Structure 1
Amino acid sequence: MHHLIKPLSAALLVAFAATAAPYALAAGPDLKIALIAGKTGALEAYAKETETGFMLGLEYLTGGKMEINGRKLKVIVKDDQSKPDLGRTLLAEAYGDDKVEIAVGTSSSGSALAMLPVAKEYKKVLIVEPAVADAITGDKWNKYIFRTARNSMQDALAAATTLKGGSVAFLAQDYAFGRDGVKAGKEALAATGSKATVVHEEYAPAAATDFTAPTQRLFDALKDKPQPRVLGIVWAGPNPMNKIADMKPERFGISLAPGGNILPVMKTWKNYAGTEGTIYYYYAFPKNKMNDWLVAEHTKRFKAPPDMFTAGGFAAASAVFNALSKVPSGNGDQLVAAMEGMSFETPKGPMSFRKEDHQALQSMYHFRIKKDQKNEWDLLELVREIPAAELPLPVRNKR
């Protein structure tokens, strides 16, 4: 009896294989990714860089094929105009109507904070890039939120490692980013064991162009305090550093400490050679294969080196690529499990998502403005790379 079964099974298998072959070649539907950015509005320059970096990152990681495990990648870009209500609506549309596997965004911290509950509602992963508000991985966090961007506290800790004592005052924008930055700055000085004392804080309107009065108050507060006297500037967009420098802080022995900014802003700092600060990324600092490719390709295509948020977009693409390679289904809970503690390569070197709050741990850079600038974009020299291990980042999400 048994000898009849074998040929029959074999024949059935052949017949089945013949019918199945065309379907076996199809690798499955497109993998859909939403990228939400403030492409119109105040943060337009940041959004453009994020999108460019994200697309370059996917191109590099897929060897130009734009696919993972044979499935085509489809990136759906949405403009939230940096408006929280619109950000929330667009993310719900991406998860619900577009059926994306994973989402990335956005430029504004206000909009990003509005998006967090939507990820939880749909049980889908949201990678936050480049918004920096501490609350995103703090009290407003949920388990579907991961962040490749640095947060305000990482910025502040990096700056604090450069101050060993003396007196500090802050000028910041009078909205969430500025107030978050100063709060983080004060905590960071304590956390790094710096003996520096904060003597004054000034908050100016986000769109201010005249800094005479607040700067005078800052100078008055600092001028008789113990040396070194440092004026920290926490500002997004066009920076007040030039206007403050024009008021000659050196008369009072005050040095400026700007946070790093986008290249078009830092290009205007040429007259302040020797001024030091800290930054998330500057194209000439990291030495690795991925960054070499990014700098070469970006310069070839756009006639300028990549910027801070270009590198951020690339880092987010690397997180997406690694996550979807591990969990092709895009299932939110499985992605969370795979991404907690996940390390991935970026133009800054390796990053890893901390298990507790999904914040990407990463290096920062201490820079000095160059005296001899060889070309339009030869702006900064590296004082030193500050490794993630030196940045004692508190966990704030009460998980």
Structure 2
Amino acid sequence: MQGLKRTFRAAVASAALSLTALSAGAAEPVRIGEINSYTGLPAFTIPYRQGWELAVEEINDKGGVLGGRMLEVISRDDAGKPDDAVRVANELVSNEKVDILAGTYFSHIGLAVSDYALRSKKVFVAAEPLTDAITWDKGNRYTFRLRPSTYMQAAMLVDRAAALPAKRWATVAPNYEYGQSAVAVFKQLLKAKRPDVEFVGEQWPAQGKIDAGSTVQALAASQPEAIFNVTFGPDLAKFVREGTTRGVFDGVSVVSLLTGEPEYLDPLKGEAPDGWIVTGYPWDQIDTPAHKAFLDAYQARFKDYPRLGSIVGYTTFKAIAAAVDKAGSTDSEKVADAFKGLKVESPFGGIEFRAIDHQATMGAYVGSIAVKDGKGAMTDWAYSDGADYLPSDEVVLKRRPQ
């Protein structure tokens, strides 16, 4: 098993994945350079990869784009490092001659590739990075983002947080762009709705290296009535376990970004934190026709259930295909123009890439966690449309370079 894991990691890190139905003499493919942290965060990125694989297969099975050109994906691992991401992006553009760049997970890596996209004048579809800067303060003509941003998801959570009686809040978040942005926005929006709240403590563990004991102890010392959590992945599991063991969450409300996503909720099993208010993805409870069609296709193809990453990968590549067809070309300037105002159907329903800031209006599910049959599940959830959780055009124009 260890040998297989090492082989897989090496293959992901060094080999190009080509998904194409081309035969000799067929039309030139549309080449997409895909970059992500496969070895750094496989819980999200492997389902994400399966999502885009399914999308590419569906698109090519229907004849591809531009009247018969297949999609060909060349995938690279960024090793969770901005410098590596920029290096492989340049390799994909210069050596592999890709038409479009896509992917990335971590916010600081997404920002690095976005800057490269601007310099190289190559369209980049940021699938996952949540930092507001990627579409606002550091936004550019060539970068578009699919997932709801930290601002959007924080705003969704603030709706429920503001209804809590708690006045004393503490925060815990990874000490990099995503965590810093999420905490700043949550504070801003909650104070706007509840001027009576105060923030009495902050903890900033290094991403992937949380000292859960000292973090929980410091939070408890501030005597909060509620906590805003931004940790995820293995850090989240350690935080939940330590906080539960020490009773820090007893009588304390917790509002948490991403924790309801199966990637992060499922590994907690029976230790899932009951009652936390979260954003997430209750995949087994959504009964819309669009989601059912996606779920059936995904389970038939991979014999597994989808995670949120699966939705992100799938919709990212569906959007790329739609933009190329709308542009009638793979020319970067034409594709960039086509993405502005582009409307795409997703498993969550219709979304639009806004012309003003290149942010998609994809939403998120907001609900609470309950432990059922020995595992965590989302309850009392509702879909929050991303279009309803964006600031005014005036605010965007002040923050985004013109």
Give the TM-score range, shorter chain: 0.7 to 0.9
Instruction: Choose the corresponding residue for 1:71, options 51, 69, 72.
Output: 69
TM-score, length basis structure 2:
0.82
Instruction: Single out whichever of 118-127 and 203-212 deviates more from structure 2.
Output: 203-212
Secondary structure of 1:358's aligned partner: coil
Partner of 1:94: 92
**AA aligned opposite 2:316:** A
- Indicate if the aligned counterparts of 2:216 and 2:248 stay in contact, CA closer than 8 A: no
Partner of 1:3: none
Distance 2:381 2:195 in 1: 19
Instruction: Choose the corresponding residue for 1:397, options 373, 397, 400.
Output: 400
Aligned CA distance change for structure 1 residues 82 and 155 (closer, same or farther; 3 Å): same
- Indicate if the aligned counterparts of 2:216 and 2:242 stay in contact, CA closer than 8 A: no
Partner of 2:218: 217
- Indicate if the aligned counterparts of 2:361 and 2:386 stay in contact, CA closer than 8 A: yes
- 1:254-293 correspondence to structure 2 within 5 Å: 254-261=252-259, 262-267=261-266, 268=268, 270-272=270-272, 274-284=274-284, 286-293=286-293
Distance 1:184 1:285 in 2: 30
* CA-to-aligned-CA distance 1:264-319 (integer Å, 9 cap, x gap): 53121534564132325332354433421332233344443111111111110121
Instruction: Choose the corresponding residue for 2:116, options 110, 115, 118.
Output: 118
- Indicate if the aligned counterparts of 2:126 and 2:143 stay in contact, CA closer than 8 A: yes
Distance 2:323 2:105 in 1: 22
TM-score, length basis structure 1:
0.83
Distance 2:71 2:180 in 1: 39
**AA aligned opposite 1:59:** E
Aligned CA distance change for structure 1 residues 75 and 387 (closer, same or farther; 3 Å): same
Partner of 2:183: 182
- Indicate if the aligned counterparts of 1:157 and 1:192 stay in contact, CA closer than 8 A: no
* CA-to-aligned-CA distance 1:88-123 (integer Å, 9 cap, x gap): 122122222222221102122222211122212332
**AA aligned opposite 2:202:** E
> Per-residue deviation at 1:155?
2.1
Aligned CA distance change for structure 1 residues 280 and 344 (closer, same or farther; 3 Å): farther
Partner of 1:200: 201
Secondary structure of 1:320's aligned partner: helix
**AA aligned opposite 1:33:** I
Distance 1:193 1:63 in 2: 52
Aligned CA distance change for structure 1 residues 222 and 362 (closer, same or farther; 3 Å): farther
Distance 1:264 1:327 in 2: 35
Long gaps (5+) in structure 2 = 1-24
Distance 1:365 1:194 in 2: 26
**AA aligned opposite 2:232:** A
**AA aligned opposite 1:146:** F
- 1:1-399 correspondence to structure 2 within 5 Å: 28-40=27-39, 42-63=40-61, 65-66=63-64, 68-164=66-162, 165=164, 166-167=166-167, 168-190=169-191, 196-223=197-224, 229-238=225-234, 239=236, 240-251=239-250, 253-261=251-259, 262-267=261-266, 268=268, 270-272=270-272, 274-284=274-284, 286-373=286-373, 379-393=377-391, 395=396, 396-399=399-402
Aligned CA distance change for structure 1 residues 321 and 259 (closer, same or farther; 3 Å): same
Partner of 2:4: none
Secondary structure of 1:278's aligned partner: strand
Distance 1:82 1:135 in 2: 19
- Indicate if the aligned counterparts of 1:276 and 1:366 stay in contact, CA closer than 8 A: no
**AA aligned opposite 2:218:** R
**AA aligned opposite 1:60:** E
Distance 2:142 2:286 in 1: 30
The structure having more radius of gyration, on CA atoms, is 1
Distance 1:106 1:138 in 2: 18
Aligned CA distance change for structure 1 residues 370 and 236 (closer, same or farther; 3 Å): closer
Distance 1:349 1:38 in 2: 27
**AA aligned opposite 2:137:** D
Aligned CA distance change for structure 1 residues 114 and 314 (closer, same or farther; 3 Å): same
> Per-residue deviation at 1:33?
1.1
- Indicate if the aligned counterparts of 1:231 and 1:257 stay in contact, CA closer than 8 A: yes
How many residues were matched structurally?
365
* CA-to-aligned-CA distance 1:322-347 (integer Å, 9 cap, x gap): 10111242111111221111111112
Distance 1:36 1:232 in 2: 30
> Per-residue deviation at 1:66?
4.8
- Indicate if the aligned counterparts of 2:343 and 2:351 stay in contact, CA closer than 8 A: yes
Long gaps (5+) in structure 1 = 1-25, 224-228
